[in-house]
Amino acid sequence: KNTPKHILITGGAGFIGSHVVRHFVNSYPHYHIYNLDVLTYAGNLENLKDVENAQNYSFAKGDIVDAGFTNDLFSKAKFDGVIHLAAESHVDRSISDPLSFVRTNVFGTVNLLNASLEAVKENPNFRFYHISTDEVYGTLGETGLFTETTPYSPNSPYSASKASSDHFVRAYGETYGLPFVISNSSNNYGPNHFPEKLIPLFINNIIQKKPLPVYGDGNYTRDWLYVEDHAAAIDLVFHEGRDGETYNIGGFNEWKNIDLTKLLCQLMDKKLNRLEGTSEKLITFVKDRPGHDLRYAIDASKINRELGWKPSVTFEEGLERTIDWYLDNQEWLDHVTSGDYKLYYQKQYQP
Ligand code: NAD
């Protein structure tokens, strides 16, 4: 087991990345945590206000595709490990602009892998950890679960780019001996989630009494994982995961989109003291997303068996915390829903 000191977290200003940064900064005061992020529309340093002055934290603004920048950073900081989350992450955006997903998710990952080959020469305990998605496995029918040996079968430009980056990580392990580990997780939810994704979008729209755009017939099924449980799993995999292995991370928590939407409506009616059934009236079925995967569900028994991880909050607790966070952080919402995002939102959801 290695005892790393200088850890690079990429994409640390994003949704999951900010929780991972906070978790590592607070849990490991003797490490130094570097957050590398270019701050796209999805990156927001407001997510990290509570740790920005910590002694063991530094932020570097830069692009993971820029080899000059990353090589310089690697040679200065002498990293013991990289936890790589920086990515373009939204499926709808990947349909309208696939190349930007190839650029960041594939070129960016390979660029970091190249820098890591230099790091491992100086430090054999170096480890590259790629954070990936269950969407690389494609879609399931009504039954069955994704395991670590399910063949890759990505259906969207987003999942194709993540599958590609997973393959490059594995290939660098096989070809150049780079120590690596990969985890593929299900849909995350929780505080700081950009309101283009289902749960925060709908919470925001319910607050504002705007329509809730449900794709197709609403029968798409996803497994939901509370983001802080994911951060705890990432900590375990980074420290204890076996070299060259993949770990699936899921919430054992499958929901059809329409049922999840109705649950959110009920919880929000209570929170906002609205008459029962008020928010459900906002549900609007919209034209399906092309190539939409019917169902994702994860078998997370390997990480449970090998590393002892399991989700710590129930869905009800996680949703309650999430809703409370959005209600208490209207200013955060106002900031992220201005500017570019507004234009994008209008393009996607205007009836
Ligand atoms: P996000 O979109 O909220 O954050 C991505 C971050 O990466 C942003 O801060 C952005 O500024 C940064 N970034 C983008 N391009 C960059 C570049 N070229 N250089 C440097 N930084 C760049 O994404 P998220 O939902 O937090 O997802 C994080 C990671 O986890 C991604 O790799 C994603 O594929 C994976 N993942 C996400 C989920 C989910 O449910 N959100 C599930 C499984 C896996």
The domain locations on the chain are 6-189+224-249, 198-221+254-291+315-343
CATH class of this structure's domain 198-221+254-291+315-343: alpha beta
Residue 51 CA to ligand 1 centre (angstroms): 19
Domain 6-189+224-249 matches domain 198-221+254-291+315-343 at the CATH topology level: no
Half-sphere exposure (CA, 13 Å, Cβ side) for 286? 15
Report d(CA 319, CA 280) in Å as an integer: 17
pLDDT tens readout for residues 154-207? 999 999 999 999 999 999 999 999 999 999 999 999 999 998 889 999 999 999
Report d(CA 181, CA 130) in Å as an integer: 6
- Mind spelling out the 3-state secondary structure of 302-321? HHHHHHCCCCCCCHHHHHHH
Predicted confidence at residue 292, as pLDDT, reads: 85
Predicted confidence at residue 1, as pLDDT, reads: 46
Cβ atoms of residues 337 and 210 within 8 Å? no
Cβ atoms of residues 302 and 237 within 8 Å? no
Give 167: exposed, middle or buried? Use CB within 10 Å, 0-12, 13-18, 19+: middle
CATH superfamily of 6-189+224-249: NAD(P)-binding Rossmann-like Domain (3.40.50.720)
pLDDT tens readout for residues 251-287? 999 999 999 999 999 999 999 999 999 999 999 999 8
Predicted confidence at residue 274, as pLDDT, reads: 95
Terminal Cα-to-Cα distance of the chain (whole angstroms): 55
Question: What is this model's ipTM?
Answer: 0.99
- What amino acid positions are annotated as catalytic residues? 134-135, 158
Ligand 1 pocket: which of 39, 40, 159 to mutate (most atoms within 8 A of CB): 40
Of 321, 311, 314, 216, the residue nearest 261 (C-alpha): 216
pLDDT tens readout for residues 106-158? 999 999 999 999 999 999 999 999 999 999 999 998 899 999 999 999 999 99
60 lines ligand 1 (CB under 6 A): no
Residue 228's alpha-carbon distances to 146, 163, 321, in angstroms, are: 22, 24, 11
Confidence of residue 350 (pLDDT cuts 50, 70, 90): low
Report d(CA 12, CA 39) in Å as an integer: 9
Strands of the sheet containing 180-185, edge to edge, are 57-61, 32-37, 6-10, 81-84, 127-133, 180-185, 246-249
Report d(CA 268, CA 47) in Å as an integer: 23
Predicted confidence at residue 152, as pLDDT, reads: 98
Residue 296 has phi, psi (to 5 degrees) of -120, 135
Largest distance between two CA atoms of the chain = 64
Cβ atoms of residues 184 and 249 within 8 Å? yes
Report d(CA 104, CA 108) in Å as an integer: 5
Provide the 10 A C-beta neighbour count for residue 45.
15
Cβ atoms of residues 82 and 58 within 8 Å? no
Report d(CA 188, CA 79) in Å as an integer: 27
pLDDT tens readout for residues 22-78? 999 999 999 999 999 999 989 999 999 999 999 999 999 999 999 999 999 999 999
Predicted confidence at residue 342, as pLDDT, reads: 63
For ligand 1, atom 32, the nearest C-alpha belongs to 85
Provide the 10 A C-beta neighbour count for residue 313.
16
Question: Cα 184 to the chain's mean position, in Å?
Answer: 10
Check whether 240 has a pLDDT greater than 60.
yes
Q: Considering only 15-19, 86-90, 101-105, 331-335, which range has the smallest mean pLDDT?
A: 331-335
Check whether 347 has a pLDDT greater than 70.
no
Residue 38 CA to ligand 1 centre (angstroms): 11
Residue 67 CA to ligand 1 centre (angstroms): 19
pLDDT tens readout for residues 296-346? 999 999 999 999 999 999 999 999 999 999 999 998 888 887 765 566 666
Predicted confidence at residue 101, as pLDDT, reads: 98
17 lines ligand 1 (CB under 6 A): yes
Predicted confidence at residue 290, as pLDDT, reads: 84
